[in-house]
């Protein structure tokens, strides 16, 4: 649009005059003055490109360049990591690195080491077999592991340590010593700082533990799941076990339910050790206490608690043929203990006071006097009596012998038993039983021999003391001899002869 001071229209002559006139200096500065072929002059102005700023486009271009740089850097780092990992794996599977690992294991465990089929990859270390052997005087004898797998941290490839989160093994065997032991002797001296082998958890899926000579161990545990935590919340090493079978010579076979053990210095705190009878999932036998393996001269004492546990699981199946039932320990923990010594001649003694479980009864059968009472009293219940109301006793196991003492079983209105029984390792029985028959039962029988055989009434019962002998499979007592040697105080009014013991006890 033309300026307001200039006319809106020009004639042809005026335009020609303006073209021939000298252009202003400021226009010449902005352009270049040129002379045409016809002699006219003009100003040639450089053509300016029209530009506009577009921030979004610039941001996209900047982001694209950034991503390209990042991708290139990541690719370079990846290639470098692959290269370093390859070099590390090659070095980790070399003979010098393997020798360094053997030294690390020896320093951490204090044992001599055998390592077979060792190999490492970027994520784990693996070995076909690891065997640790400790010197004489250590409670640990040998640990043998198969197909070991361990997580490895990046620092493990530099040979200074072997660390990670977990070391696992599908199966392993641990052998423990008994007898005089020193204070944890080692093949290699322990380090003052952190050991070179450090894992948060050591686990064996199927562990076998032998205590004593491997050929004839005192205690054998098989197929247990074991987890060992070197550092826990209490700053103590923790040992957790579950499942498995526990056998010991002369003791009933048990199943391990679970166990929690804490290790401190040269002692073990058994926080809880729960066992069950091999054929019964209901009953529980629980042990608690402290064991000092290196103090062989000092006997260890563990508190024992029973809950609905089968008496046969303590007394054994042989004595269980005669007296059976589910039992609970009395609340007095001081009298319910397992005492054992791991000295040159290991010993173990179990003593506990029990009562019948509220959910069951105590049953007595197999003794000849029960059959005699059933026949003379005319009541079959006496052949297999069950004591549901109140039945308690004390059981003791020591040196292969099982003793039931302070026995007190009672069913009001029928029968009561008191006394003690002992079964030796060859299943021989000895002891005595005080048999109490309710006064009303004897009176109803109208047997003058029984009336003369039993003592005068005491607390609604009349008593007879019997001597027990024989074996667990064929028990004996002197009821028959006492019956035959007893003379009635008077004859029956009918004048008939008194029936013999055979007549009274022979099944019809």
Which tens digits make up the pLDDT trace of 96-138? 778 888 888 888 888 899 999 888 887 888 999 999 999 888 8
| φ, ψ for residue 409, nearest 5 deg | -110, 140
293 vs 160: which has the higher pLDDT:
293
237 vs 491: which has the higher pLDDT:
237
In this model, does residue 5 exceed pLDDT 60? no
Would residue 411 be called left, alpha or beta, if left means φ above 0 and alpha means ψ between -120 and 50 degrees? Answer: beta
399 falls within a domain: yes
Contact 224, 207 (CB under 8 A): yes
Residues 482, 373: Cα–Cα separation, whole Å: 13
Say how far residue 471 (Cα) sits from the centre of its chain.
39
* Per-residue pLDDT at 500: 54
In this model, does residue 25 exceed pLDDT 60? no
91 falls within a domain: no
- Average confidence (pLDDT) over 235-262: 91
* Per-residue pLDDT at 147: 94
Task: Look up the pTM and report it.
Answer: 0.75
* Per-residue pLDDT at 46: 64
Residues 231, 238: Cα–Cα separation, whole Å: 7
In this model, does residue 201 exceed pLDDT 60? yes
* Per-residue pLDDT at 121: 80
Residues 6 or more apart in contact with residue 72 via CB below 8 angstroms:
none
* Per-residue pLDDT at 267: 85
Our CA angle for 54, 58, 59, nearest 5°, is: 115
- Average confidence (pLDDT) over 442-462: 88
Our CA angle for 74, 80, 82, nearest 5°, is: 100
**If you average pLDDT over each of 59-68, 306-315, 480-489, which comes out highest?**
306-315
In this model, does residue 499 exceed pLDDT 80? no
346 falls within a domain: yes
172 vs 66: which has the higher pLDDT:
172
As a dihedral over the C-alpha atoms of residue 400, residue 471, residue 435, residue 355, rounded to 10 degrees, the angle is 40
Least confident of 65-69, 374-378, 382-386: 65-69
* Per-residue pLDDT at 20: 63
Residues 381, 358: Cα–Cα separation, whole Å: 21
Residues 453, 377: Cα–Cα separation, whole Å: 13
* Per-residue pLDDT at 215: 87
Which percentage of the chain shows pLDDT scores above 70? 81
* Per-residue pLDDT at 264: 84
| φ, ψ for residue 14, nearest 5 deg | -65, -35
Average pLDDT of the chain? Answer: 83
* Per-residue pLDDT at 252: 85
Is 367 strand, coil or helix?
coil
In this model, does residue 70 exceed pLDDT 60? yes
Q: What are the CB-based long-range contacts (under 8 Å, 24+) for 206-211?
A: 206/170, 206/171, 206/172, 207/171, 207/172, 207/173, 207/174, 207/241, 207/244, 208/171, 208/172, 208/173, 208/174, 209/173, 209/174, 209/175, 209/176, 210/173, 210/174, 210/175, 210/176, 211/176, 211/178
240 falls within a domain: no
Contact 443, 425 (CB under 8 A): no
Number of domains in the chain: 1
121 vs 170: which has the higher pLDDT:
170
Query: pLDDT grade, residue 329 (50/70/90)?
Result: very high
Least confident of 17-31, 106-120, 159-173, 373-387: 17-31
336 falls within a domain: yes
In this model, does residue 199 exceed pLDDT 60? yes
In this model, does residue 416 exceed pLDDT 90? yes
Q: Which helix (H) or strand (E) holds 314?
A: helix 312-315
In this model, does residue 495 exceed pLDDT 60? no
376 falls within a domain: yes
In this model, does residue 484 exceed pLDDT 50? yes
* Per-residue pLDDT at 491: 38
266 vs 414: which has the higher pLDDT:
414
- Average confidence (pLDDT) over 167-177: 94
In this model, does residue 175 exceed pLDDT 90? yes
* Per-residue pLDDT at 493: 40
* Per-residue pLDDT at 497: 45
Residues 36, 151: Cα–Cα separation, whole Å: 89
As a dihedral over the C-alpha atoms of residue 22, residue 24, residue 29, residue 35, rounded to 10 degrees, the angle is -20
In this model, does residue 1 exceed pLDDT 50? no
32 falls within a domain: no
In this model, does residue 29 exceed pLDDT 70? no
Assigned token pair, 394: 């004390």
Query: pLDDT grade, residue 52 (50/70/90)?
Result: low
For tokens 């791991």, the residue is 342
- Average confidence (pLDDT) over 297-322: 90
In this model, does residue 68 exceed pLDDT 60? yes
* Per-residue pLDDT at 86: 58
Our CA angle for 394, 400, 404, nearest 5°, is: 20
Residues 199, 227: Cα–Cα separation, whole Å: 12
**Host domain of residue 364:** 313-508
397 vs 47: which has the higher pLDDT:
397
- Average confidence (pLDDT) over 271-295: 91
334 falls within a domain: yes
- Average confidence (pLDDT) over 69-73: 81
């Amino acid at each position: 649009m033309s300026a307001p001071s200039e006319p809106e229209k020009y004639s042809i002559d005026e335009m020609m005059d303006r073209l021939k006139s000298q252009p202003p200096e400021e226009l010449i500065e902005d352009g270049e003055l040129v002379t045409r072929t016809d002699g006219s002059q003009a100003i040639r102005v450089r053509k300016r490109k029209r530009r506009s700023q577009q921030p979004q486009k610039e941001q996209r271009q900047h982001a694209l360049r950034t991503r390209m740089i990042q991708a290139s850097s990541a690719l370079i780092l990846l290639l470098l990591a692959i290269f370093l990992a390859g070099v590390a794996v090659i070095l980790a599977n070399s003979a010098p690195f393997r020798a360094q690992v053997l030294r690390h294991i020896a320093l951490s465990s204090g044992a001599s080491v055998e390592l077979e089929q060792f190999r490492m990859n970027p994520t784990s270390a693996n070995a076909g077999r690891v065997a640790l052997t400790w010197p004489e005087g250590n409670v640990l004898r040998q640990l043998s592991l198969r197909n070991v797998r361990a997580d490895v941290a990046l620092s493990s490839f530099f040979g200074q340590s072997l660390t990670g989160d977990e070391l696992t093994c599908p199966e392993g065997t641990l052998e423990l010593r008994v007898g005089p032991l020193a204070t944890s002797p080692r093949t290699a001296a322990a380090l003052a700082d952190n050991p070179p082998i450090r894992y948060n958890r050591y686990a064996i899926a199927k562990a076998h533990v032998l205590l004593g000579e491997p050929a004839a161990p005192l205690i054998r545990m098989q197929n247990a799941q074991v987890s060992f935590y070197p550092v826990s919340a209490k700053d103590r090493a923790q040992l957790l076990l579950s499942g498995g079978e526990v056998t010991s010579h002369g003791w009933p076979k048990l199943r391990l339910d679970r166990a929690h053990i804490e290790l401190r210095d040269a002692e073990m705190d058994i926080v809880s050790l729960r066992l069950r009878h091999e054929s019964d999932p209901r009953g529980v036998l629980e042990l608690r206490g402290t064991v000092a393996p290196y103090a062989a001269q000092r006997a260890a004492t563990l508190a024992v608690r029973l809950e609905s546990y089968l008496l046969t699981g303590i007394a054994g199946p042989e004595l269980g043929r005669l007296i059976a039932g589910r039992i609970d320990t009395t609340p007095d923990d001081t009298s319910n203990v397992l005492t054992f010594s791991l000295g040159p001649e290991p010993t173990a003694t179990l003593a506990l006071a029990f009562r019948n479980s509220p959910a069951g009864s105590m049953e007595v059968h197999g003794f000849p006097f029960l059959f005699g009472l059933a026949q003379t009293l005319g009541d079959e219940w006496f052949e297999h009596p069950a004591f549901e109301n109140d039945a308690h006793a004390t059981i003791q196991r020591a040196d292969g012998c099982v003793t039931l003492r302070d026995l007190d079983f009672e069913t009001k209105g029928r029968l009561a038993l008191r006394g003690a029984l002992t079964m030796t390792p060859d299943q021989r029985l000895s002891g005595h039983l005080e048999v109490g028959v309710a006064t009303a039962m004897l009176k109803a029988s109208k047997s003058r021999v029984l009336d003369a055989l039993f003592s005068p009434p005491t607390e609604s019962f009349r008593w007879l003391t019997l001597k027990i002998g024989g074996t667990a499979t064929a028990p004996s007592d002197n009821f028959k001899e006492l019956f035959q040697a007893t003379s009635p105080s008077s004859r029956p009014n009918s004048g008939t002869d008194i029936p013999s013991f055979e007549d009274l006890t022979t099944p019809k």
